[in-house]
Structure 1
Amino acid sequence: MGIISSSIARKVAMALSGLFLVFFLGQHFTINLSSVIDKDTFNNWSHFMGTNGLVQFVLQPILIFGVIFHFVMGFILEIRNRNARAVSYKSYKGNTNSTWVSRNMIYSGIVILAFLGLHFYDFWVPEIIYKYIDVSEAVENRYWIELVHKFESPVRTGLYCLSFVFLALHLWHGFASSFQSVGFNNKYSVALTKFAKFYAIAIPAGFIFIALYHHFNQIPH
């Protein structure tokens, strides 16, 4: 209960879990980007990630816990912050107090959470069924074609792209503020903030590019 009872500890825990997810996001983007460069490389990396015991039974559960923890902590912070406001938005004057993005982190977070549900339904659930329920043969070159076919539908592709826009908004404030929450208020603060802003735009834009690339370069049936 220590994390829940201390405001500072909650913010630090939120920031650390966010930084962990940002690191995973970069790794995930690197693998996915290879799908538009060389399908064999994508297949090899995906096969390794999908069959390596350390990744599957240690890192993957940690990642799932990190996602759940980050969003639960986000909801807790939002509820407590709202309850703690002595003065409501009567005193709010535009962006004088805070930016639109920072005031609506909970909503961008909800959209991202919904997207993760779709992403799990599209990729993680079929993978679990393939490997552990149907116990199908490990085919190393199946990953690229499976990824491409997921972007056949313009509706699904559009949902993915929209979700990445909200991810950019979420990262724009969250990534930069996480450095402050964990104490990086020093001579590197300006550089870290610039890097966080660049990352918040570049990575979601890269994911949008990947989705659109595969949507408009479908393999004829």
Structure 2
Amino acid sequence: MAILSSSIARKVAMALSGLFLVLFLAQHFTINITSVIDPETFNNLSHFMGHNFVVQFIAQPILIFGVVFHFIMGLVLEIRNRNARQINYVSFKGNKNSTWASRNMIISGAVILAFLGLHFYDFWFPEIVHKYVESNPLDATRYYPELLHKFESPVRTGLYCLAFVLLALHLWHGFSSSFQSMGWNNKYSKGLRGFTQFYAIFIPLGFIFIALYLHFNQ
């Protein structure tokens, strides 16, 4: 697209898509934590999300597009940045120059994308089959038992936890960088950075807690 022809436009588009996914992540966590607090509430929320027209046929396609766009844009920026580097450093000082998270955003992003593939395989595809292929009757009580069943395997639970650790690293650099890319630089910048770092730790740890709780409470 012509609008993404400049480096600044690509960075802003990357930032906006990232912030959109951060909002989705918070919403997804809010629903999932109810599986620990009150399974009935989790069932009700999941049933609503699974049968609401706006969520299913408007928000969900936008979300899928946002995920794909964010990853492709990140890949494009990574390739262009590497091609633009003309100086080969004699020595690399590791974290003195940058953090591991900032140097390996494309790696953590690729692992997260693979995790999303597993997540779709575990939840989205079975949901599509249940509703549209098998045409099963409505059952608002089925969501919690199905979620519990997914975390029976220690291997799958471990994969989820690993993905959330990498998500934390990805968010640690990416969330705050999104605001920098959009030119956010004022007296609130320090406080905002603190919030993004808190979010980068709290949300992934929350998801890890949910996964471990469901695994050990079979």
Same fold (TM over 0.5): yes
Identity %: 74
Q: How many residues align?
A: 218
Q: Distance in 1 between matches of 2:89 and 2:47?
A: 51
Q: How does 1:33-72 map to 2 (within 5 A)?
A: 33-72=33-72
Q: How does 1:1-221 map to 2 (within 5 A)?
A: 1-90=1-90, 92-218=92-218
User: Structure 1: any 5+ residue segments left out of the alignment?
Assistant: none
What do the CA deviations read for 1:55-107 (whole angstroms, capped 9, x no partner)? 00000000000000000001000100000001134353333332221011010
Q: Distance in 1 between matches of 2:166 and 2:159?
A: 11
Q: Distance in 1 between matches of 2:93 and 2:205?
A: 32
TM-score, normalised with respect to structure 2: 0.97
Q: Distance in 2 between matches of 1:150 and 1:89?
A: 47
What do the CA deviations read for 1:30-50 (whole angstroms, capped 9, x no partner)? 000000000110000000000
SS at match of 1:90: coil
Q: Distance in 1 between matches of 2:97 and 2:164?
A: 27
Q: Distance in 2 between matches of 1:88 and 1:130?
A: 55
Q: Once structures 1 and 2 are overlaid, which stretch shifts more, 34-43 or 92-101?
A: 92-101
Letter in structure 2 aligned against 1:119: H
Q: Distance in 2 between matches of 1:4 and 1:96?
A: 32
Q: Distance in 2 between matches of 1:155 and 1:3?
A: 44
Distance change in 2, residues 1:76/1:3 (3 Å): farther
Aligned residues of 1:3 and 1:13 also touching (Cα < 8 A): no
Q: Distance in 2 between matches of 1:115 and 1:190?
A: 32
Q: Residue 204 of structure 1: CA displacement?
A: 0.2
Deviation above 3 Å: which 4+ runs of structure 1? none
* Root mean square deviation of aligned Cα: 1.0
Q: Distance in 2 between matches of 1:179 and 1:91?
A: 31
